[in-house]
Amino acid sequence: MRAALTFTLDLEDHREHRAAPARYPAITRELLPWLAELKVRGTFFVVGEVAAAEPALIREVAAAGHELALHSWDHTPLTAITPARFRDDTVRGRSVLEDLSGKPVQGYRAPIFSLTPASRWAVGILAELGFRYSSSVLAAPHPLYGYPGLPSAPFQWPEGLLEIPAPLARLGAWRLPYLGGFYLRYLPLPLIQWLRTCAPRDELPWTYCHPYDFDVDEAFTPIRDAALWVSVLLWCRRRGTRGKLARLMADGCAPPFAEQLARGDFAQAKTLP
Ligand SMILES: [Zn+2]
């Protein structure tokens, strides 16, 4: 049988201007009863600054049975910070989350899959800090980030950290992400379902959405330093996200990553040479 889907959410504040009202707390609160109805518990990768700004929200997420993992302190890509700052930020973000939930944080996801050959040093720091797993790699060439040459199935870094790479669609020689919020919004459901059936059996399927992927009422705001068409693409087609996800998760979801790890699901993961 094919592996069940894991639900993950990158809980971040994507506002362009801090003067605008924050919409992500209300959107996330709307998701909690919806996920409960679908009997889905997932992993919420939370930005440290968001946890510090919205402690009540983070407690609600944890109380609903979801796993809290870290999604950096302030969403700066790994390729834009020094190892020393990464270490400090990671310790700080983790302690905010652990204080809020009373549970150890085991997982880390780099902003925009920015764990690349240039930021490979981050693996050693995560392992040293006691993280059990990372979910930070897109194992294919990509215009933004990517780590071609790595397996797309979960694997162990030699430092002892488990990596759970982003699932990839196979179209001929192409390897493309397809289960992120952006792709869920634009790809037709039958295509996503078909791509799932083509995935290798050892690859772990997981979705990664953001609160804005579900926010159908947000007004359009051009994104700084991005072309207008990019801003438009990121803003459109949010209405179908919930419906498509519900269909994809209808056959039952896997528990949060930390629970999969605890029950030995990754025991077969190969260690990189
Ligand atoms: Zn993010």
DSSP string, 169-188: EEETTEEEE-SBHHHHHHS-
Question: Ligand 1 mean position to 44 CA, how many Å?
Answer: 11
CATH code for residues 6-268: 3.20.20.370
Dump pLDDT digits (tens) for 6-26: 999 999 998 777 778 889 999
Calculate how far, in angstroms, residue 271's C-alpha sits from the geometric centre of ligand 1. Answer: 27
* Ligand 1: centre distance to CA 110 (Å): 7
47-94 pLDDT per residue, tens: 999 999 999 999 999 999 999 999 999 999 999 999 999 999 999 999
pLDDT beyond 80 at 219: no
How far is the centre of ligand 1, averaged over its atoms, from the C-alpha of 49 (Å)? Answer: 12
Between the alpha carbon of residue 227 and those of residues 18, 198, 232, 240, the distances in Å are 21, 33, 9, 24
- The domain limits of the chain are 6-268
Please give the pLDDT value at position 236. 65
pLDDT (average), residues 199-226? 86
Average pLDDT, the chain: 92
Q: Is the confidence at residue 1, as pLDDT, over 70?
A: no
- 220 vs 267: which has the higher pLDDT: 267
pLDDT digits (tens, 9 = 90+) for 145-200: 899 999 999 999 999 999 999 999 988 888 888 899 888 988 999 999 998 888 88
| pLDDT in the model for residue 101 | 94
